[in-house]
Amino acid sequence: MSAANYNTTEMMIIAASRLLTNGAVCFVGIGLPSTAANLARLTHAPDIVLIYESGPIGAKPEVLPLSIGDGDLAERADTVVSTPEIFRYWLQGGRVDVGFLGAAQIDRFANINTTVIGDYKKPTTRLPGAGGAPEIASCAKAVVLVLKQSARAFVKKLDFLTSVGHLDGGDSRKKLGLPGAGPVAVVTDLCIMKPHEVSRELTVTQLHPGVTREQVQKATGWEIRFAEIVQESVPPTENELKVLRDLLHRTALAHGQAPAA
Amino acid sequence: MSAANYNTTEMMIIAASRLLTNGAVCFVGIGLPSTAANLARLTHAPDIVLIYESGPIGAKPEVLPLSIGDGDLAERADTVVSTPEIFRYWLQGGRVDVGFLGAAQIDRFANINTTVIGDYKKPTTRLPGAGGAPEIASCAKAVVLVLKQSARAFVKKLDFLTSVGHLDGGDSRKKLGLPGAGPVAVVTDLCIMKPHEVSRELTVTQLHPGVTREQVQKATGWEIRFAEIVQESVPPTENELKVLRDLLHRTALAHGQAPAA
Amino acid sequence: MAEIVSLQSAIRAHVHDGDAVAMEGFTHLIPFAAGHEVIRQRRKDLTLIRMTPDVIYDQLIGAGCARKLIFSWGGNPGVGSLHRLRDAVEKDWPQPLEIEEHGHGDLSNAYVSGASNLPFAVLRAYAGSELPKHNKNIRFIECPFTGETLAAVPSIRPDVAVIHAQKADRKGNVLLWGILGVQKEAVLAAKRAIVTVEEIVDNLNAPPNACVLPSWTLAAVCHVPGGARPSYAHGYYDRDNRFYQAWDEISRDRQTFLSWIKKHILATEDFSAFQKVLRESAKEQLV
Amino acid sequence: MAEIVSLQSAIRAHVHDGDAVAMEGFTHLIPFAAGHEVIRQRRKDLTLIRMTPDVIYDQLIGAGCARKLIFSWGGNPGVGSLHRLRDAVEKDWPQPLEIEEHGHGDLSNAYVSGASNLPFAVLRAYAGSELPKHNKNIRFIECPFTGETLAAVPSIRPDVAVIHAQKADRKGNVLLWGILGVQKEAVLAAKRAIVTVEEIVDNLNAPPNACVLPSWTLAAVCHVPGGARPSYAHGYYDRDNRFYQAWDEISRDRQTFLSWIKKHILATEDFSAFQKVLRESAKEQLV
């Protein structure tokens, strides 16, 4: 049965978690991706394999990590290897089914910017930078992007192209000769978008309950396309919501209890 | 004090072991090199670091290994890494002071052949092959060669150049741009030869007790050169001989006791 | 062979103005004590290399120790921005900071090829990215067998690598476990290496194939219990997430930052004195 | 996920005529039982890849399973020649054997780049050596940053990798320790992997940072106690040096070899039957 009260962030995380099939090997970043991936592991995908760039393979954290290298990730992993090995043997090696990424800016072809707002040499805002995104975008068999939707984030032109999605659309990514297929879905707090099979332009295929096309357009910096058939997302089930909220609650407690230096 | 009775093989091994200074990092092959290196460790060089290509670093075998990957090597090593790491981080990484090699054929510039006797395509004798020698000859800071001296082994022209020594002499090795300095000594059952500082041609600098220049020449396939001052090797001391013989005795017992399948 | 010495003398002997310094530790075992000592000794013009600059480099950058930063992700993990890094890049405070940025896979490969004494590393990345346009150290090469185009980056060969580990024995052999990041590669890629450790023991009792750094690969080993705080040491103490959150406030304002550095680092003699002062500040709710 | 199956069905399902097969184990954990099963199932035209062919490939070559051998050192460790390998190379018996030879550093790098899904590996070697003259798979490239010339070799990407390990759990996760050689790289470089293990346990109890191969990287896991004999399994049994010495006699003569293979491998049903017959032969002093 579906839940009565939930917020749009919960809907976004739950929608993202549903995209992960059981047994999938998932390269997980911190934040929303890690939350969605662990929710999947605790609900419909118990055998999902979570890989964190710091080294854990098959991580099963009790609570969500605050940092990419929390000890809890190592404690319950199948094994912990070095960071170079993660990127060489496991990601580039072609063993990652889904790479999960966030972004500060995204364009209509799901290229992303995590580097700067403004000019590179004299940025108005210096963002954290690439992290593992360029390699994940290149080598993961598929990429799923998760971020809140707003006209500031979904822009006509990126200030900086940090990690490639479908480049200029069409077969332009294919021509780059990268091993991975690139972004297959963008999950936001309003909807799910997928690249059009020919143009590779992001197309809304699913609206979250109660969200209108106008809301999506207002939160997008270009004229957003909608699929011929746009489905409505299944609202969060009681169980999904309970597991997610328990997880976030456990996490808050655990990190609150962290000892002061 | 020096020992009364010893054979020429013992003299060769002891002379080779004396070339290893305490604390030196030594990349060791199986057979005579391994015997000489462990003798050094058990006599004048207790802090010598023995690296075997199978993975052990700081190996301290009780008995001599029969194979390059004997369990005893791992048991008492400071650490055991993968074989790729041995060659990448440790040998190529420039951390090996002395690479110890044997050979089936050697020429006047200490280039060696461990590949074939006769034509490569239709050899009269197929030898085991390169092993780690090409990389050791390239990357070890210095190389010491140990082999019995005979006109069949010390040849005018190699049937095959497997691992480079001083190539054509002079600065020809230098021009190859290899990180290591190449062979610094060849120790045989008759003498010790070192490359001439300019021509890089092997020159006898030391004769083992009782060995004549004629014997050396008879056992060499080219007109061998002698240094202006040729010293006589210090004969094995009682202690060197005792430690060597105990080691070989322990080794024979241990390997004889190996269980049948 | 590593000398077992005080952190103060290790930094004095091995970290010089203008050096390229890699202080590694992937959220685990971050060598904070060593970073503080570098600030205390007022080193200048350092080229700082680190995949994730984290709070440790935010402190060094704000304190004016750095001329250049080579990195791949510059945030405060789980919190947000590194304000001192941003202030240096956006407003040249306290001085301009040259930056060279890469991806994580790229930098970790560059440490591997550095440890392997190769001049460059090869990887599958950057096609389509704008990073190569702004970083002349990201180039492309052709496979001599397949003709494929691949990315190439120069190896990292720091003057000094600094890491924190769990244990050393009395000879200076070092054992670390848990999340290893690129620490081993950083040490083996560097000209010299300093390791701070939680404890010095008679016998490492390392499990088979554990991550051990032999004493002869290191310049100095220093006994600094808690030396990774506020990051964590697996088996010893947890990450102090509260401090990472508090750092957001401390570092946001230049004056607040300067007085924090003055009181906690410049005015303290060593890391144990720092920890004492920090505990007091914590009680006073200043942290 | 790896299936836990009999060695017989694993070889039948995953090793096909004409495959490129890498059976690795650097004198430790050599997968002899798997090698025997390949002979038993009379596989043909295999390209055999292995740093040290050892007795395991001497048996496969003499039994006529191999078309080509890629290797770096082909001797009987501590004993001498591999007579079947030599007979094939020197006298085309039982059939011609194409050989491609490298150095150990080269091959181990080629496994690493294979596991990393790169088309080639770079190393410092071969300048001055005649090996590149006879092996078109050893080439030279230029560093795009320094201009230095370095050796390049193509990655190894076997159709099948076969290794022996100490333990697997019931899900098929595998743990090995001691001398690791290139086993992990061989498995990760291959399209499919078979692992024989000494025992299958409820919990691997792997130490931190141990060499673990997750079940999902493997095609099949087979419970074959003693499956590395006459090589050894660290913590289980020692190397049978006597057999390695005996092999020199067994393999020296074609007929002696053929009858040994017939009696011990072709006429036995599986590895435990082989071990029983071998023990009897040993008693009869034939071995």
What's the CA gap between D229 and D32, in Å, rounded?
6
Q: Which residues pair with D169 in a beta bridge?
A: D201
Interchain contact, B49 vs C216, CB within 8 Å:
yes
Identity of the amino acid at C55? V
Per DSSP (E only), the strands in C20-73 are 20-23, 46-50, 66-71
Identity of the amino acid at D71? F
Cβ contact C224:C275 at 8 Å: no
Question: From the CA atom positions of chain C, what is the Rg in Å?
Answer: 19
Per DSSP (E only), the strands in C155-208 are 160-169, 174-176, 192-201
Structure tokens at D90: 């020197």
Q: Which of C116, C167, C182, C218 has the highest number of chain B CBs within 10 A, making it the mutation to test binding with B?
A: C116
Rounded to 5 degrees, φ, ψ at B141 are: -60, -35
In this prediction the ipTM stands at 0.96
CA angle C245, C248, C253 (to 5 degrees): 155
Q: What is the pLDDT of residue D53?
A: 97
Interchain contact, D120 vs C137, CB within 8 Å:
no
**pLDDT value at A14 more than 60:** yes
Q: What is the pLDDT of residue A258?
A: 42
Interval C42-81: pLDDT, tens: 999 999 999 999 999 999 999 999 999 999 999 999 899 9
Identity of the amino acid at B66? L
Identity of the amino acid at D172? G
Classified as helix, coil or strand, D277 is: helix
Q: How many CB atoms lie within 10 A of CB A198?
A: 9
What percent of chain D has pLDDT above 90?
A: 96
**pLDDT value at A261 more than 70:** no
Distant-in-sequence, close-in-space partners of C136: CB < 8 Å, separation ≥ 6: none
Q: What is the full per-residue pLDDT of chain B (261 aa) written as tens digits?
A: 566 699 999 999 999 999 999 999 999 987 899 999 999 999 999 999 999 999 999 999 999 988 777 788 888 899 999 999 999 999 999 999 999 999 999 999 999 999 999 999 999 999 999 999 999 999 999 999 999 999 999 999 999 999 999 999 999 999 999 999 999 999 999 999 999 999 999 999 999 999 999 999 999 999 999 999 999 999 999 999 999 999 999 998 887 754 333
Interval C222-281: pLDDT, tens: 999 999 999 999 999 999 989 999 999 999 999 999 999 999 999 999 999 999 999 998
- The arithmetic mean of pLDDT across residues D23-44, rounded, is 97
Q: What is the pLDDT of residue B261?
A: 31
What's the CA gap between B242 and B237, in Å, rounded?
8
Pairing of strands D98-101, D66-71: parallel
Classified as helix, coil or strand, C66 is: strand
Token pair 């009680």 is at which residue? C283
What's the CA gap between C195 and C24, in Å, rounded?
11
Structure tokens at C226: 């808690």
pTM: 0.97
Cβ contact A74:A56 at 8 Å: yes
Distant-in-sequence, close-in-space partners of A161: CB < 8 Å, separation ≥ 6: A111, A112, A113, C128, C129, C130
Nearest-CA neighbor of A101 among A135, A65, A72?
A135
Identity of the amino acid at A13? I
DSSP letters, C98-135, are EEEE--HHHHHHHHHHHHTT-SEEEES--TT-SHHHH-
First to last CA, chain D: 40
Q: Which of D81, D116, D184, D239 has the highest number of chain B CBs within 10 A, making it the mutation to test binding with B?
A: D239
Interval C113-138: pLDDT, tens: 999 999 999 999 999 999 999 999 99
**pLDDT value at D287 more than 90:** no
Q: Which residues pair with B255 in a beta bridge?
A: none
What's the CA gap between A190 and A208, in Å, rounded?
6
- Edge-to-edge strands of the sheet including B25-28? B79-80, B56-57, B49-52, B25-28, B98-101, B142-146, B183-187, B191-195, B202-207, B225-232
What's the CA gap between B249 and B246, in Å, rounded?
5
Q: What is the pLDDT of residue B1?
A: 55
What percent of chain C has pLDDT above 70?
A: 99
Q: Is C136 on the interface with D (CB under 8 A)?
A: no
Q: Which of C112, C184, C209 has the highest number of chain D CBs within 10 A, making it the mutation to test binding with D?
A: C209
What's the CA gap between C47 and C57, in Å, rounded?
11
Cβ contact C27:A30 at 8 Å: no
Q: Which own/partner pairs from A122-126 qualify as long-range (CB within 8 Å, at least 24 positions apart)?
A: A122/C90, A123/C89, A123/C90, A124/C90, A125/C86, A125/C90, A126/C74, A126/C85, A126/C86, A126/C89, A126/C90
Q: Is D51 on the interface with C (CB under 8 A)?
A: no
Interval A176-205: pLDDT, tens: 999 999 999 999 999 999 999 999 999 999
Nearest-CA neighbor of B253 among B33, B66, B53, B37?
B66
Could you tell me which chain A residue has the CA closest to the CA of D172? Answer: A78
Q: Predicted confidence band at D285 (pLDDT cuts at 50, 70, 90)?
A: low
Rounded to 5 degrees, φ, ψ at A146 are: -130, 120
Could you tell me which chain A residue has the CA closest to the CA of C78? Answer: A66
- Number of cross-chain residue pairs from A and D with Cβ atoms under 8 Å apart: 39
Distant-in-sequence, close-in-space partners of B238: CB < 8 Å, separation ≥ 6: B1, B2, B3
Q: Which own/partner pairs from C136-139 qualify as long-range (CB within 8 Å, at least 24 positions apart)?
A: C137/C100, C137/C102, C137/D145, C138/C102, C138/C106, C139/D144, C139/D145
Query: Which residue numbers of A have CB closer than 8 Å to D's CBs?
Result: 23, 25, 49, 57-58, 74, 78-81, 88-89, 92-95, 139, 179
The shortest C-alpha distance from A213 to chain C (Å) reads 31
Q: What is the pLDDT of residue B258?
A: 42
Active site residue B53: yes
**pLDDT value at A3 more than 80:** no
Distant-in-sequence, close-in-space partners of C282: CB < 8 Å, separation ≥ 6: A260, A261
CB contacts, 8 Å: D148 with chain C: 119
Q: What is the pLDDT of residue B6?
A: 95
**pLDDT value at D139 more than 70:** yes
